[in-house]
Amino acid sequence: MKTTWKLDPTHSEIEFKVKHMMISTVTGSFSDFDATVEAGDDTFKDAQFAFNAKIDSISTKNNDRDTHLKSDDFFNAEKYPQLTFKSKSFDGEKMVGDLTIRNTTKEITLDVDFNGIAEDPYGQTKSGFEATGTINRKDYNLSWSAVTEAGNIVVSDKVKLIANLQFIKQ
């Protein structure tokens, strides 16, 4: 029998990092997201992970940039209000799954640290994971591009994904 684990949003975060002008890194996050895990046992091997984030909740701590990211140049939040991820396999260290952004689905591989299981002071059983990976934003039609007069690319094609997720055993 499988056990369901639900996201603990107060102890979880989803971030992305992208090079700006190739000299600095901009970090962004999603504040509205959800995830569940269906696990056969406490090793989580071959568990099914599902995740979604609301594009409107994107934040890079810059309103103009956030508005641009929500526009059709990037995510088109109006037409494609969320991104989703569904795992296909998890061996305890590598997770393979389908990431869907702007109605485009590609298989990605994430490196996962399973940080274990612990009971919190309120008697809830929690599990923690850190997942990281890199995608090419142009694979998902996030293709806006600009080059400065000096020839610097404004936004890198490579985007690092970082998810710190804590789940509560149901």
Q: Please compute the mean of the pLDDT values over residues 61-73 and round it to a whole number.
A: 94
Query: What 3-state DSSP class applies to 57?
Result: helix
SS3 readout for 102-136: CCEEEEEEEEEEEEEEEECCCCCEEEEEEEEEEEE
Structure tokens at 138: 């142009």
Q: How confident is the model at residue 121 (pLDDT cuts 50, 70, 90)?
A: very high
For 11-24, how does the pLDDT look when each residue is reduced to its tens digit (9 = 90+)? Answer: 999 999 999 887 88
- The enclosing domain of 117 has a CATH number of 2.40.128.110
Q: Which domain holds residue 90?
A: 3-169
- Please report the pLDDT score of residue 149 as a whole number: 77
Query: How many domains does the chain fold into?
Result: 1
pTM > 0.75: yes
Q: Quick check: 141 pLDDT over 80?
A: yes
Q: How confident is the model at residue 52 (pLDDT cuts 50, 70, 90)?
A: very high
